[in-house]
Structure formats: C-alpha cells, structure tokens
Structure 1
Amino acid sequence: MVVLIALIRAIPAVYSFFFPELTNPETERLAINKLSWMKSDKEAAHRQQKMEAPVLKSTLFNFDPNLIDADDWQRLGLSAKQAGVMARYKGKGGRYFKKEDLQKMYVISPEMYERLIPYISIGLGKDRQRQQLNPEYTAKNYPAQQKPLSIPLNTADTLQLMEVRGIGPAFARRICNYRQRLGGFYKKEQLLEIYGLDSLKYAEIKDQLSLDDLVLTTINLNTALFDDLKNHPYLKYKQINAIIQFRKQHGNYGNIADLRKVAILSAETIEKLAPYISF
C-alpha cells in the first residue's frame, strides 16, 4: 500500500519531465509583439539614417547648357563623372537647341531634368551667362546689332565661327582645316564636303555665313611638284602623278582644255579643281 501511494504521488513529476508544459499563450503573444516592435524601430532608424545621409550640395542658377563647363555642371548637382560627360559632349561640337534636348543626355535623370528645367535658358548670351556665374562680372556694352549675323567664311577664325548657331568647337576646327587644304571656299556648298557636316547642319548655318572677297590660293600646274598637290582634297595620289607625268611628256599646260587630256581626271574633278589652279 505504501509503495502504491508513493507511485501515485510521483506521477505528476514524471509526466512533467516527459511532457513539459506548453508555453502560456499570453506570454508568447507578448514576446512576438516585442520582436515586431524591435523590427519596426530598426526599420524606422534605417529610414531616418537614409534621410539624414549627406547629399551632394548644388546651387541652381539660370544657365545656357551650350556655354557652361564641367565645374558649372557640378555646381548644379551633377557628379564629377556626369559633368565630364556633359563637357565632352560640348567639346565634340554638341549643341542644345531647346530645353528638351537635355533629356537626351543619359547622365541627366528625369528627376534632375525636372529640377533644372526652370533654370535652362537657351541662347542666354555669353555676357548674361557670365553674370549668372560671377555676379562681379560686368557685361560689355556693345552697340545693338542691326544686321543678321554674317560671319566671313574665308577669313573667320575658330572663335568667330563658333558665334554661328550650330557650329561648336569641333566643326569650327574642321572648317578652318578644310579651308586651309582647299585654298579657300568659292561657294558655301563646299561645306557639305566636310566630315560630319550633313545637309541638316548646312541648312542651319548657311545663312549665318558669307563669302568674302578673299582671293583663292591657286597652284601653278606647270611648276607644281607632288608635295604641292598632295594635300589638296580634290586630288588623289594617282591623279597627281598623272598630271605631272603628262606635263613631262607633253610640255606645259596652257589651259583647262589641256587638263582634260589627262585621262584619269573626270570632268567633275576638273570642274571642282578649276578655281584652284593656274598655268
């Protein structure tokens, strides 16, 4: 009997050992809520930290994207790398003709474009642009321009050519280099022979250019050597050799008609070359 009573009293302890009591539901709920609050607090702290993270300082001002440089783009909020892209585009002759053109630049995000658009002023003018960038700059008082822009094609330097709407540094250099090789332009349409200058670009710039009375540089075919002719864009090396050999075999050229006897020269080539040769 004593043994039986001892076994009955031991049953709860044994049961508890093999079958532990389940967690109190209320205690479990409170623990879950505490974990949830801790997670929420952590996320809130992360958001606050992100909001308080330092951002690139920018200064917004009225600007013409055709005139500003890399430093100015950085002042507007672009990174050094993005500003470099904008500067290289300008350096290669890239131009903006309306505000929307800025959207074509992949380094200008939609958000950045929306920030900048109220300040974009195409054709702002160099003096006004300089005043925006440097308040101490005093604009020069030029007399009002009465006539439309007319830049002399045969005597203008690169800076003068860049005053033409549609001509940037790259095209200005190409025009001057090609003019040097030719000996001068005798018609505006010769600009179409310049690399990268297509009919659309020509239509944009032609009315802003004029043909001055500069005398074209000519080459005397009766005394010219190979080196005198090799850089002319209208002649290839084989044609130059043919011109010189024909002269050696038949004597000096007297006129254009004699040049037509050189079989390798087409009528089109002779017509283009005529203003640049003498006898």
Structure 2
Amino acid sequence: MNKNVKDAFSFSKKELNGLLVFAVLLVLVALAPVIYSFFVPPQVYDHVAFEKEINAFMASAQKKETRKFRPFLRDEVENRELSGELFSFNPNNLSVSDWQRLGLTAKQIKVIKNFESKGGRFYKKEDLRKIYSIRASDYERLEPFITIPEKKDAYKEAAYKKPDMKFAMPVDLNSADSAQLESLNGIGPAFAIRIIKYRNRLGGFCRKEQLREVYGIDSLVYQKLVNRVVVRPEAVKQISINTATFDDLRKHPYLTYKQMNAIIQYRKQHGNYKDLDGLRPIAILNETVLNKIAPYLSFATN
C-alpha cells in the first residue's frame, strides 16, 4: 500500500518540468497587466471638451425651440388683457401709455396708431368701434368715457365738404407747406411730411402720378387727391448732368448707386452729355429710367 501511495504522489522529472513551466506561465499571465501598463501608458480621455459639445448642443436645441414658439409668445403678449383704469379721454392722438391705462392690449394700440399715422381721426364716439381690433366689450366699457370736443365734429363736416367744393383752390404740390397739404381730404400730418420729404428728394413733382410713389399713398388716397392738386413742372429743380458729382446724384430716388457711378465714369471717358441720347449707350440705364429722370436733367455745359 505504501508503494501505491508513493507512486500516486510522486512525479517524474518530465512532469516536474511541465509543472514548472505551467507555474511560470501563470505568473506571467498574472503580471501581464502590470507589465503592459508599464510599457503602454493608459489613455486619458478629455471629458471637458465632450461636455462643452453637449452644452452647445443643448443650448442650440433650446434656442430653436424658443424661436419656434416666439410667434405664439408675441401674440400672447400683444393680446394679453390689461387691467383697465377708466377716465375721460379724447381718442385723437392719445398717448400709448394712456391707452394702456384704459386696458387696451399692445396689438389694439398698434392698430389705432397705424390708423392715425395714415391721417385717420375720430370724429364721434362710434368711430372707435370701427377699429377692427376693438372688441364690442371694449367699446361698451370705454364708450361712456369718450369725450371728443365739438370743434372736431365741425372740422369733420368741413372736411367732408372739401371734395364737393366747386371753387376750392387746388393745392400746388411743388410749393405747398404741411398745413396746406393737411387741408386735403385723406392727408394727415404723417402723409404731409412724407410728401414734402419725397418732393425734396426728387427736386419737385413733374406730374401728379408721382404721388403714388410716396409710401402709404395707395390708389384710394390718390383718387381723393388727384382733382385737388396741381403740378407746375417749371418749378422742378434740375441737376446739371455735366458737372454733377456723386453726392449731387445720390439723393435722387430714381437712380441706383451703380447707375450714378456709371453716369460719372462714362462722362469722364467720353466727355460731356449733349442731350438724353448721350446717356443711352450706358447699358444699365434702360428707357424706363431715362424717361423718369429726363425732366430732372440739365445738359448745359456752363
């Protein structure tokens, strides 16, 4: 029995060598991570840059979402009802702050101010109800406090009679001041200022139809004015095309910067212009432009 036990637990030289090699391999496997990290340093990841990219993406997404809902927010603000404070008021030229005190929304006030800027006036209480942004409930709340002086009603009656006055003196567009222009039906202070500014840019009106070029004067307003105004073309201030500088030309509404520059450069290369035909070789000046600017050009060489 002792021999059997000894044979079971004894190893041959070959087996011992195998065990030794196996033990060495186990040690190497156990030490492999340490050895690898010694020769190959572990890679360090920069999370800061990654977090910046995440934050930038989130901010961009939030901005797009805000932009998406901005129209809804604007409408909500403009239509938001305010708590009103009632007091006697004249709706003509009433300040924005007073309209707000009365409880009107930003959108309602904007519509009223646009109406006034186009020469609109309130002649009687019911005129406020005609403003499309004023609700029936708003008008019923404000109506007892609306006070419009009687002289405004008299002014309105006179204004209504203007188109029918057979002997009313026509207004000269090239010499009229703002008060004379405001006497025309449909022309308020804002329109009068625009007409005068545009007249100064042109150098004067040479035909009535040019009123349509004034911002805000549509076909309806023009039809009210056409029989009440006159134009004296001789009052038009002309530009001496043979001596004009870029600054002399640049305020005129009928010419673009490129066209002005082309006129000056062509004159430098080919000499003075004798008449309108001298401008026709300039490619960017078509017949429409030439016909519009012709009354404003002088070809005198002195």
Q: What TM-score does the superposition give when structure 1 sets the normalisation length? A: 0.59
The whole-number CA distance in structure 2 between the counterparts of 1:213 and 1:97 is: 37
Partner AA of 2:133 in structure 1: Y
Task: Rate the CA distance shift 1:206–1:185 in 2: closer, same or farther, 3 A.
Answer: same
Q: Distance in 2 between matches of 1:91 and 1:120?
A: 17
Tell me which of 193, 200, 203 is aligned to 1:180.
Answer: 200
2:153 to 124, 129, 139: 124
With over 3 angstroms needed to count, the CA separation of the structure-2 counterparts of 1:183 and 1:118, relative to structure 1, is: closer
Equivalences for 1:186-225 in 2 at 5 Å?
186-212=206-232, 215-225=235-245
Cα deviation for residue 213 of structure 1 reads: 6.0
Cα distance in 2, alignment partners of residues 203 and 114 from structure 1: 33
* Contact kept? 1:103, 1:110, Cα under 8 Å: no
Q: Counterpart of 1:270?
A: 290
Q: Is the 8 A contact 1:91 1:169 kept in 2?
A: no
* Length-normalised TM-score, structure 2: 0.55
Q: Larger % of helix: which? A: 2
Task: Please report how far the alpha carbon of residue 91 of structure 1 lies from its aligned counterpart in structure 2 after TM superposition.
Answer: 4.8
The number of residues matched between the two structures is 201
Alpha-carbon contact 1:188-1:206 (below 8 Å) kept: yes
Alignment of 1:92 onto 2:137: no
Name the stretch that deviates more: 211-220 or 89-98: 89-98
Unaligned runs of 5+ in 1: 1-54, 130-144
Q: Distance in 1 between matches of 2:156 and 2:288?
A: 47
Equivalent in the alignment of 1:249:
269
Q: Which has the larger radius of gyration?
A: 2
1:235 corresponds, among 246, 255, 274, to 255
Q: Distance between the aligned counterparts of 2:261 and 2:171, measured in 1?
A: 38
Which AA in structure 2 matches 1:111? E
Structure 1 segments, 4+ long, off by >6 Å, are 116-123
- Contact 2:88/2:146 (CA < 8 Å) preserved in 1? no
Match of 1:260 among 262, 275, 280: 280
Contact 2:88 2:145 in 1 (8 A): no
Q: Does 1:70 align with 2:101?
A: no
Q: With CA pairs under 8 Å and 6+ residues apart, which has the higher RCO, 1 or 2?
A: 1
Report the Cα offset of residue 160 of structure 1.
1.6
Residue 13 of structure 1: aligned partner:
none
Q: CA deviation at 1:207?
A: 1.8
The range that moved more, 147-156 or 162-171, is: 147-156
